[in-house]
Structure 1
Amino acid sequence: MGLQHRVIAGSVKGALRMIFPPQCLGCAASVTAAGDGTGSLCPGCWAETRFITGACCGRCGAPLPDDGHGQSTDEALTCDDCLAIARPWDSGRAALVYSGIGRQLVLMLKHGDRPDLAPTLAAWLARAAQPVISPDMIVAPVPLHLRRLLKRKYNQATLISTRLARSHGLEHRDDLLIRRTHTQMQDHRGVSDRFENLRGSMTVSAKRAQGIQGRPILLVDDVMTSGATLSVATQALLAAGSGPVFVAVLARAVKDD
């Protein structure tokens, strides 16, 4: 886009903001005094959104008790879930706790036909994922089965991963993984049932397999609960010859919520 076009686009956006003031993503209130400093959330919704900014599990990004020194980069920190369940990926990060406004935003993106939320949510995840980013990474979303994709009209993980990859200047492959079986929804299933339900459900696209040999992969999804979906996707990538796999999820479900 040339300078003239950027100036015109900026003027149009400015005029639209005057006519239609920015609204909070959570409650649609005016965000002229946004709580998150970006014009995305009002102070009330900001207070009900748990961003993961302190000490966190190095495997999944779940928040851990903070020692008062802010964000920890110690990969040895591990939550109870990751101590109990083997994770095939190397490390991971999450932007939000899956509760309050964070949960509401994820569900709006996923089931509420709100793809317009993706730019802001992806920006939050891009910041949270910074510790696991490397220059030669391939970014890939967890795929949806075609039947579910047609029903939902878009893959929310792809909307996020596309923007995350762009913000870090990384290669993005939205067709790297294929969901080859239409599995039942994971809601209300126990941990073992979740893993069994997804067993063998994903594979690497034959046309992309050669390009991932030895390359680190960043898997992106909207929510991590048990980790079954990310585990199956990671196992498919490793079996196809990828390098180490890392994960980044918009929201992490935790037991105390």
Structure 2
Amino acid sequence: MTTRQERGAVRQLRRFGDALLSLVYPPVCAGCTSAVSRSPAVCAACWRDLRFLERPFCEVLGLPFAVDPGAGLVSPEAIANPPPFARLRGTVLYQGLGSRLVASLKYGDRTDLVPLMAGWMGRAGAELLAEADLVMPVPLHARRLLRRRFNQSAELGRHLARTHGRRFEPMMLRRVRATRSQVGLSASERERNLRGAFVLDPHRVADLKGRRVLLVDDVFTTGATVSAAARTLLRGGAAAVDVLVFARVAAGGS
């Protein structure tokens, strides 16, 4: 059997396995578990509960505008408090099904949602992915990673890097200080909470010099987490840092 024939046989075997699996576990909606034609997917009703972020939005923060102010404009938030990262793109607003999908992946061990969520992220951040030299997830501290068993941002980033042919670097940026939960903290408290939380692996930092980094996270709320990570990367020699998240709040600047 030739290599081409072998690949064809593998594809046929995979299709047969997928068909058999769908008979045992029929595909269901990622939002409400109603029946759908394929998985991963959401039903029509759940689709209407998603608010995808599309232009017009702030070219820096990805913050949606109520009206179109013209191409290339930035929000007052970005002008008043410029972030250390160059551009942020979000996929959906952090509300309704968007927030439930994040919670299901993060706390419900729903790693089966990664292809669906990362697929949407890939479309929202296509321009960022096209220009990225390295894809990195926002890291978890070792103790939190041990409790959760996986880093949801790393799972999303790994899928994005693989499907878009980018270099994935999950270990170059590390979280060395266990910080308290950001929930309920003010912007200044969040910044203090994250001071010194991130470092670069000294054995890998040479590969960062002059590279454009795409930092991947699940949610963007105030910007404190990704800003602290971006500053660490820029101090280490990154040419620029962009940010791609699954969900972001409607206003504010995680």
Superposition pairs for residues 3-22 of structure 1, below 5 Å? Answer: 3-22=8-27
Find the counterpart in structure 2 of residue 27 from structure 1. Answer: 32
What do residues 89-131 of structure 1 show as CA deviations (whole Å, max 9, x unaligned)? 1112111100000000001111112111111111111111112
Find the residue that maps to 1:232 and give its secondary structure.
helix
Distance change in 2, residues 1:44/1:86 (3 Å): same
Find the counterpart in structure 2 of residue 120 from structure 1. Answer: 116
Find the counterpart in structure 2 of residue 57 from structure 1. Answer: 58
Q: Which moved more, 1:121-130 or 1:11-20?
A: 11-20
The answer to whether the 8 A contact 1:132-1:246 is kept is yes
Find the counterpart in structure 1 of residue 84 from structure 2. Answer: 88
Q: Does residue 250 of structure 2 align to residue 249 of structure 1? A: no
The answer to whether the 8 A contact 1:140-1:220 is kept is yes
Find the counterpart in structure 2 of residue 159 from structure 1. Answer: 155
Q: Which runs of 5 or more residues in structure 1 are unaligned?
A: none
What do residues 199-237 of structure 1 show as CA deviations (whole Å, max 9, x unaligned)? 121011111100010010000000011101111101100
Root-mean-square deviation (Å): 2.0
The percentage of aligned residue pairs carrying the same residue is 36
Find the residue that maps to 1:77 and give its secondary structure.
coil
Aligned residues: 247
Find the counterpart in structure 1 of residue 138 from structure 2. Answer: 142
Question: 1:194: Cα distance to partner?
Answer: 1.0
Find the counterpart in structure 1 of residue 225 from structure 2. Answer: 229
Question: 1:132: Cα distance to partner?
Answer: 1.8
How far, CA to CA, are the matches of 2:9 and 2:131 in structure 1?
33
Question: 1:15: Cα distance to partner?
Answer: 2.7
TM-score by length of 1: 0.90
Query: What code does the residue aligned with 2:237 have?
Result: G
What do residues 119-170 of structure 1 show as CA deviations (whole Å, max 9, x unaligned)? 1111111111112233551000000000000001000000000011112111
The answer to whether the 8 A contact 2:137-2:215 is kept is yes
Distance change in 2, residues 1:136/1:106 (3 Å): closer
Find the counterpart in structure 2 of residue 78 from structure 1. Answer: 74
Query: What code does the residue aligned with 1:248 have?
Result: L
How far, CA to CA, are the matches of 1:132 and 1:59 in structure 2?
12
- What stretches of structure 1 move > 3 A for 4+ residues in a row? none
What do residues 162-184 of structure 1 show as CA deviations (whole Å, max 9, x unaligned)? 01111211100000101010000
Q: Which moved more, 1:14-23 or 1:125-134?
A: 14-23
How far, CA to CA, are the matches of 1:166 and 1:66 in structure 2?
36
